[in-house]
Structure 1
């Protein structure tokens, strides 16, 4: 079907937004629309502008505003290249619904949830990169530039369970008019969501509790009149406390207790009150408490169908005795501010709705007595009777549950995914009903409304009247799936924020609106930690926390055990590497130190010998230096003839110690490593040819001329008879070496025990 054209009256001043909910079982694309707030403001006025923009379906009629593909995006963990073909049908559907002229200004978001959180950071990064490139280069929709949030900014990323709860809270209060500002102190609805892996809660504490509670999320929205509204919301999640993972923990706990009680029994048949009567299921111990200490053999669970016993057996799974680092806590040691149920009213979605409506037909206002009665009747039925009724209802086409096919509000088929989906829901209905009741009342603390005379004849429609007669006003809790024709979904909450961003503010200096996470100044103190595809410890804990003992969770320890383990391994690897390379490191340090010491020694010798500090040799051929030497020659000759001794040698004429101190004692002779004399065999010169002027014959040896070395006035080198000694001197004696002028007795090398010079 071609997209609508701009000449359509319904499209006048209409804006669009697209959200792809990339869940664990599939990706659902939902298109929303709203009228341009500027147009609405010009057309209306007064109190009509004291509301948020009206967010509707992105299609005028029918269900073309939503479509879905399977399986989940996380299934491409080992094949990221397959993401393009997977998302192509969703993108093509969006093109057919949004006019081409509006696509460039239509924001597109792909926000991944539970399935993607369980992948490794490397897998997450590859999938997000492939998704970003496909959406950006194969469509004209509005997508953000790269940022710290991801390769496509906030347009393509993974959201946390807390963010899901926060967006759901916005959606519920938007649909239930909880954001109307007619009252100075409006009362918002609390939000409860339960899935297979986790459960979330989001609510606005009372004014007194808000003043005492930290880590609240500031939610800012803008009404059509430009006025901003602020709400401080508390949101948290319980990982491992969804229905499926709660069942895993229940199975592990039951097998452990059974084998401790009957260690020699090889039948492995366990009586289970949380299954319909006579239902037999084979279960494997998946929890460490059973798998590590007991056999991993399969066990047969046989249903006894006792809802009351199931309530008692599942209540310890709430872990109410877990340490509470930040009091008060509800269950599993997670802090939650006190809830005033006389003012706070909650709406539950997902499993709260499925477990109430699909089997019992009790969705809506919640009556605990009626709910427990329906659950007791269902659990006590024979399994064969339940299966028979299931087949009859399926033939009539009125089967409730996950498998029904609805078109235009009518059930036209069932079992879209086969009976393998419907039967497991019936099998687990007794357990899920008990778990839901325990979470609501034992966990969250929802009060039970029970008349002293009994209320066995009440039904859901009368709960509101009973609540009002008891001073509670609106129902304390109700399960819902939609309001009107719009489903309650966190994706709607995201679009309410986007529509609110387009409302012009009252002041040009007003701070721009953003997602609640964007308004957090210090993310380190935030209760919501954004998921980034690099060493995401929270995502790893999402995957394994429900399999860890409660004492090893981050809520009990006060820190992330996964992060702690990572840094311990990192430090261990570093220390091991340094230890293995210790000899190389020590040698490198020594070479560096010695090189530095040699540089200091070189500079010291250079200063003692009157040489430049940069080590460059003096140029004896310089005319100025030769003139300076001629002027000093008479002075030096006078000092030598007069036999005068100087306390400090002249830097221009430094001799070398002859190895004998003034006191007559011998001292080792030190030769400058910079300024040495070299002796070579005397070359034979042809007759009549003088040797090289740079070689001085001394006792048959040729002494190399070293630039800068002093000479006598006749140009010959000063020698002590065997070596040129004018280029070095002893450190132990600072004196003029007059040996070349005043002859001294030669010391025999063979008879003298003194060191040779």
Structure 2
């Protein structure tokens, strides 16, 4: 369809934003929009956040989903472009071209991508960034430490999901209006296939004692900022799908430990109380969550919800060591929660497992929920399939398993087309897992006083919840409020719309994402960045060649990381022990190079620049070797010992054969650092510097008068008397009592 026309009154001063939720099972594109803050009418509307709503006038066109998850392209990154093409085309078709360059687009990947190796993550993000830059005009961040497209294309942490979801829930429930004393906020629970999150604002009393609180800043339309301190944490591997895999692995291991001697059948049957009765479900060999041989198994459902609750309870790992004073499960610290005053809202799997099959979405009653789950699990699988087929043929759209006529429920167990077979197969397990997470994990009481607490805050919470169509229970599952779906993507867009509001003062800090707003080094939650060394991927490649006794699961730490850091420590210790020898070697190397360059200068009579020269007009390696030299002189605790100097006194004298002036010749040499030539004249006689010649403290060559106090490296002096030999003949070297400085040549006329 063509893009909407700018002549449409709905589009006047409208801003847009696009978010792609790249989850573990699929990627969903969502288009949001809001009015420009500069055109919003005054009054009460200014004391609220920007009104973020669906980004299309057609309520069904604002969202689009594609499957599978983007993480499925880990081994085929080139498949990302055609995978994302329908989503980008959908966004381009519903956002006016004139505003697309100002429309931010975000592809934020969640738990599925977090399970990949760092190289796989980097490859997918790079291909995604390249595709979005070349195939769309939407606004993308520049490359940064967050990724090739900055914060526009990246992997978000489970904590960020929780924070964005917390913003979305309280935005829809008007939790950000009113004064700070009367403001009410709801806790947020989210459960996906791979992880589960919790985010809530502790009471003022608990905030003073709580740790690791995240400061969330938002800006109202009047420019005033609102602040909340929120605790958030995530449990990776505790989503329904990952928990199911761990459960199956533990169930098969238990079967292996208690089974009778092997039989001749090609497959083994394992009883599973978390499947509907008589459902036979084949299981592929489990390499990750089970240590049993790679044998095909058949899970046979026994349909006992009570046994399923018992067998899934150990998956919470309640006995894990707690590093702090208060932990919920798997050793994760969470501040104490006062459920008499705190109200939680759950989305995603909390809604799907309650509403789509049981028809119990909304206010949560544990007794009613467990009764519905027990009845469902105990049903025969063939009966469930029959009911599902009837529902599909009749086109039932309720999705709640009930058929109503004239306001009366006339049938149950009838589901709409959105309830797939896979959902019905795992519904018993997912229901048990949710019950255990809520009550045994988070600690929500199973019985809540219907009267509850009668404080003013609770009365206001009840009135607000009723006004928004929600009840007053401690926990309730929802999918949408009004016509807006509750999702962490909505929270991200509320934050982006809030960033566009002008602050009251120019001194106000700009709004940023919560994790980027924490003081350096204070937050224990770090953004997802591929590590410099990907130990996990190395372990994956070599795990099949290592015995199970030295695996990460057996040792409790990474053996590859241990080997790497141990080797690094050994190398550093070796270098430290060899520091004196290394320093001496470095000094000898520099001295030999200095001698070689100066020797060449003496032989050819030309000025040869030394690489160690500090002259600004010559090539110099001092900046390179200065740090090494400094390191070599500071590592050692004592300097190397030098042989004692044997001082002998010489009385050098200069002999002239005639009274005629003596012509002195010296080879042109490199200048010393003080600008003088290394060839000086002593008593009218030219002297040339030879490496090893003694010098004074000012750098000049020692004169005849000073030479007696030092030791010369050469004990012979040479004189050439041209009058005593024929032309072009040279006298032999003599040893006489008279010595001239080494390197001096006298030519007699």
Q: Same fold (TM over 0.5)?
A: yes
Which residue, 106, 109, 114 being the options, matches 1:112?
Answer: 109
Distance 2:170 2:188 in 1: 9
- Counterpart secondary structure, 2:328: coil
Distance 1:500 1:542 in 2: 44
Which residue, 39, 49, 52 being the options, matches 1:52?
Answer: 49
Superimposed CA distance per residue, residues 438-496 of structure 1 (whole angstroms, 9 cap, x where no aligned partner): 111111111123789xxxxxxxxxxx99x99xxx9821111111111111111110000
The reply on whether 1:5 has 2:41 as its aligned counterpart is: no
Distance 1:674 1:104 in 2: 84
CA apart distance, 1:125: 2.2
Distance 1:492 1:239 in 2: 22
**Mean Cα displacement is larger for which, 49-58 or 117-126?**
117-126
The reply on whether 1:569 has 2:564 as its aligned counterpart is: yes
Could you tell me the TM-score, scaled by structure 1's length? 0.72
- Counterpart secondary structure, 1:201: strand
> What is the correspondence of 1:75-154 to structure 2 with a 5 Å cutoff?
75-154=72-151
Distance 2:320 2:188 in 1: 24
Partner of 2:445: 447
Partner of 1:672: 713
Partner of 1:389: 387
Superimposed CA distance per residue, residues 385-425 of structure 1 (whole angstroms, 9 cap, x where no aligned partner): 1111111111112266699xxxxxxxxx9768xxxx92222
- Counterpart secondary structure, 1:566: helix
CA apart distance, 1:715: 6.8
Distance 1:580 1:538 in 2: 25
CA apart distance, 1:590: 3.4
Partner of 2:495: 497
Which residue, 625, 629, 633 being the options, matches 2:685?
Answer: 625
Distance 1:185 1:340 in 2: 17
CA apart distance, 1:138: 3.6
Superimposed CA distance per residue, residues 151-193 of structure 1 (whole angstroms, 9 cap, x where no aligned partner): 2221121111111111111111111222221572322111111
The reply on whether 1:233 has 2:230 as its aligned counterpart is: yes
The reply on whether 1:590 has 2:585 as its aligned counterpart is: yes
CA apart distance, 1:278: 1.6
Distance 2:69 2:484 in 1: 23
CA apart distance, 1:103: 1.8
Distance 2:227 2:294 in 1: 53
Contact map agreement 1:17 1:108 (CA 8 A) in 2: yes
Partner of 2:659: none
**Residues 532 and 401 of structure 1, relative CA distance in 2, 3 Å threshold:** farther
- Counterpart secondary structure, 2:20: strand
Partner of 1:202: 199
- Counterpart secondary structure, 2:427: helix
**Residues 709 and 255 of structure 1, relative CA distance in 2, 3 Å threshold:** same
The reply on whether 1:651 has 2:704 as its aligned counterpart is: yes
> What is the correspondence of 1:420-459 to structure 2 with a 5 Å cutoff?
422-449=420-447
**Mean Cα displacement is larger for which, 583-592 or 224-233?**
583-592
CA apart distance, 1:121: 1.9
Distance 2:395 2:485 in 1: 23
- Counterpart secondary structure, 2:306: helix
**Residues 618 and 506 of structure 1, relative CA distance in 2, 3 Å threshold:** closer
CA apart distance, 1:78: 3.6
**Mean Cα displacement is larger for which, 330-339 or 182-191?**
182-191
Task: Output the aligned Cα RMSD.
Answer: 4.8
CA apart distance, 1:543: 10
- Whichever of the two has the greater Rg, that structure is 1
Distance 1:49 1:111 in 2: 30
Structure 2, unpaired ranges of 5+: 402-414, 451-461, 542-547, 596-641, 653-665, 688-701
Distance 1:594 1:214 in 2: 56
Contact map agreement 1:31 1:66 (CA 8 A) in 2: yes
Partner of 2:693: none
Which residue, 481, 486, 489 being the options, matches 1:488?
Answer: 486
Contact map agreement 1:276 1:430 (CA 8 A) in 2: yes
- The structure whose RCO (Cα within 8 Å, separation 6+) is larger is 1
**Residues 66 and 12 of structure 1, relative CA distance in 2, 3 Å threshold:** same
Structure 1, unpaired ranges of 5+: 404-412, 453-463, 628-648, 657-669, 717-757
- Counterpart secondary structure, 1:256: helix
- Counterpart secondary structure, 2:426: helix
Contact map agreement 1:618 1:708 (CA 8 A) in 2: no
CA apart distance, 1:74: 2.6
Which residue, 246, 250, 254 being the options, matches 1:249?
Answer: 246
Partner of 1:296: 294
Partner of 1:35: 35
> What is the correspondence of 1:61-72 to structure 2 with a 5 Å cutoff?
61-72=58-69
Contact map agreement 1:311 1:438 (CA 8 A) in 2: yes
Superimposed CA distance per residue, residues 222-277 of structure 1 (whole angstroms, 9 cap, x where no aligned partner): 12222211111111111111112212222222222233233535474332221211
Could you tell me the TM-score, scaled by structure 2's length? 0.73
Distance 2:337 2:476 in 1: 16
Distance 1:676 1:428 in 2: 102
Partner of 2:274: 274
